[in-house]
Every structure is written in C-alpha cells, then in structure tokens.
Amino acid sequence: MPTLAGQVAIISGAAGDIGAAVARELSRRGADVALGDVLEAPQVDALGAEITALGRRWRYDRVDVTDAAAVAAWVQACERGLGTPTLIVPNAAVVTVRPLLELTPREWSRDLRINLDGAFHLAQAAAKRLVELGKPGRIVMVGSWAAERAHRRMTAYCASKGGLRMLTRCLALELAEHGILVNEVAPGYVNAGLSGKLMKDDPAAQARAAARVPIGRLMSADDVARQVAHLCEPGTDHLTGATLLMDGGLSLRGATDG
Ligand SMILES: NC(=O)c1ccc[n+]([C@@H]2O[C@H](COP(=O)([O-])OP(=O)(O)OC[C@H]3O[C@@H](n4cnc5c(N)ncnc54)[C@H](O)[C@@H]3O)[C@@H](O)[C@H]2O)c1
C-alpha cells in the first residue's frame, strides 16, 4: 500500500520545476494532487498525464497566491473535486535579482507578496478547513538556503525566505494541538527552476555553482521533491517547526572558504 494513499495534496507553483517534481513524487506515493499556478492550464497537461498514468487523480486551477480570496476558493474547489487537502505544499516563488540600491518598492513587494504572503494564504486557508473538520495534516513549505546567508542582489528573496522560516515555526506552534505538522525544506543550488533559469545558458556558471557546494554537485528538482514527500510520511510524525536544510553544505562555508 503506498504510504500516502487516501491523501490529497495541494501544491502552489505546480507548473514550475520543483512543484511539478513534488506533484509526481506525492502521486507516486499514493496521493491525489491539486495543482495551482498562475500559468495557463496547458502548461501542466504533460504533468497531468503522468499523474493519471500513475493511477492518481489530479486537477489544475489557475490561481494567484497573492490573492487570499482566490486561494481560499481554490482550497474549496480542491475539496469538492478531490477531497480535503491534507498535504499542503506552498511552493510558488519568484526571485528578483537586482542590486539593493536599485531595487524598486514594486520589486520588493512582488517577492514578499508571492513568496511569503502567498505561502501564508495557502497554509492558513487549508489549515482552517482541517481544523473545522478535526482532521490532521502536513504543511511543507518550500524555503531556501537563502534564509541562512545574506546574498548580494537578492535582498527581497532572502527576506521573504527568512520570513517564511519564522512563519513555519509560528504555524507549527499554533497548529500542533490540531494535529497539523508544519515543516520546511530549504534547498541549496538546484539545477532547475529559479536558479536553473539563471544558469541555463551559462555552463560556466553551473560549474562555478557546483564547485561552491562542499559536496561538489547541484541537486535536482527530484531530490527536493523526495524530501518534501519524506516530511509528509507517517514516519516523521514527531517533527514540527523544523527546517530540513538540504544545501550540500553550502551554508557551512565560512569567509575563509572563498
Ligand atoms: N531552483 C532553485 O535553485 C531553488 C533553490 C532553493 C529554493 N527554491 C524554491 O523552490 C520553489 C519552486 O521554485 P522553482 O525553482 O521550481 O521555480 P519555478 O520558477 O520553476 O517555479 C515557480 C512557480 O511559481 C509560479 N508562480 C509565480 N508567481 C505565482 C503566483 N503569484 N501564484 C501562483 N504561482 C506563481 C510560477 O509560474 C512557477 O511555475 C520556490 O519556493 C523557490 O524559492 C528553488
């Protein structure tokens, strides 16, 4: 029996590389999946076909996570279509790369609104429903090692992921009595998605990034997805408010490491 059979997952930013990998991994482990993203539906057709082939049900909703009412409506639609979401993965994010002194208020707000407000909207809407029904659940935030170390030209992103870390812990504290566990996976350099796009036309940048990682390699979206799924598994039912930092040792580097 697959370990997540009978569960319904809801994943924001699901048309992106890591969101799609999470959807595949949770489906493989038996969950039905509600996919949400700002992109047009055809962007997830191939992913949907893979999930169907795994014998799982899925739906796609176009939803902007910055809109709290739209996110609440998405959670309701997911419940009507697939069942109450019990595995919640706030994953949608953007990154603005701009020197601090040139960062506009609009760019600052965009990163904060999508990465932090968006995660709050989804986590809160889904948790409210679980509490109403007296059902347990798991929330797994997709954070970043950017919450560990200051990064040049990524101020808004780093601040959003730092905020996400504390949001994870506050949610974990208040939701524990309701049987809802809240944790965070914090990847380092992933050779896909946001940093994949930044490096995609530049093999030298990829090689430089890999060389900075103490274990000597970049991780894949599937590596991240496996850890998200791990935090949804029955075996991790004493873990809450935790950050699973999976950065290959990046954040261990000191100033003298170059
Ligand atoms: N790729 C990396 O190196 C890396 C490293 C650490 C953490 N992360 C985190 O992984 C998560 C997934 O990112 P990814 O790398 O797969 O990037 P991605 O760009 O492939 O996916 C992000 C998705 O979020 C969607 N999105 C953007 N704004 C949205 C909105 N307002 N509402 C709903 N959806 C929206 C995008 O359309 C996109 O499909 C993010 O939280 C990111 O911070 C990525």
Query: pLDDT for 194-212, tens place per residue?
Result: 988 888 888 898 899 999 9
pLDDT band, residue 257 (cuts 50/70/90): low
Nearest CA to ligand 1 atom 44: 194
Average pLDDT over residues 178-204: 92
Res 167: pLDDT: 99
Q: Which one from 58, 74, 120, 157 is the annotated catalytic residue?
A: 157
Residue 193 CB less than 6 A away from ligand 1: yes
When mean pLDDT is compared across 65-79, 217-231, 244-258, the lowest value belongs to 244-258
CA–centroid distance, 16 to ligand 1, in Å, is 6
Active site residue 60: no
Read off the pTM: 0.98
The whole-angstrom separation of Cα 211 and Cα 207 is: 6
pLDDT band, residue 254 (cuts 50/70/90): confident
pLDDT tens for each residue of 163-176: 999 999 999 999 99
With 60 as the cut, is the pLDDT of residue 140 above it? yes
Nearest CA to ligand 1 atom 32: 64
Residue pair 164/97 in contact (Cβ under 8 Å)? The answer is no
Nearest CA to ligand 1 atom 7: 144
CA–centroid distance, 12 to ligand 1, in Å, is 9
pLDDT band, residue 107 (cuts 50/70/90): very high
Residue 191 CB less than 6 A away from ligand 1: no
Q: Which of 37, 109, 200 to mutate to test the pocket of ligand 1 (most atoms within 8 A of CB)?
A: 37
Q: Which of 17, 18, 168 to mutate to test the pocket of ligand 1 (most atoms within 8 A of CB)?
A: 18
% of the chain beyond a pLDDT of 90: 91
Q: Which of 24, 38, 165 to mutate to test the pocket of ligand 1 (most atoms within 8 A of CB)?
A: 38
pLDDT tens for each residue of 10-51: 999 999 999 999 999 999 999 999 999 999 988 899 999 999
Nearest CA to ligand 1 atom 3: 190
Instruction: Report the chain's mean pLDDT, rounded to a whole number.
Output: 96
CA–centroid distance, 23 to ligand 1, in Å, is 13
- In Å, how far are 22, 58, 216, 257 from 10, measured between CA atoms? 10, 10, 33, 40
CA–centroid distance, 91 to ligand 1, in Å, is 6
Residue 92 CB less than 6 A away from ligand 1: yes
When mean pLDDT is compared across 102-116, 125-139, 203-217, the lowest value belongs to 203-217
Res 18: pLDDT: 98
Residue 65 CB less than 6 A away from ligand 1: yes
pLDDT tens for each residue of 149-166: 999 999 999 999 999 999
CA–centroid distance, 207 to ligand 1, in Å, is 22
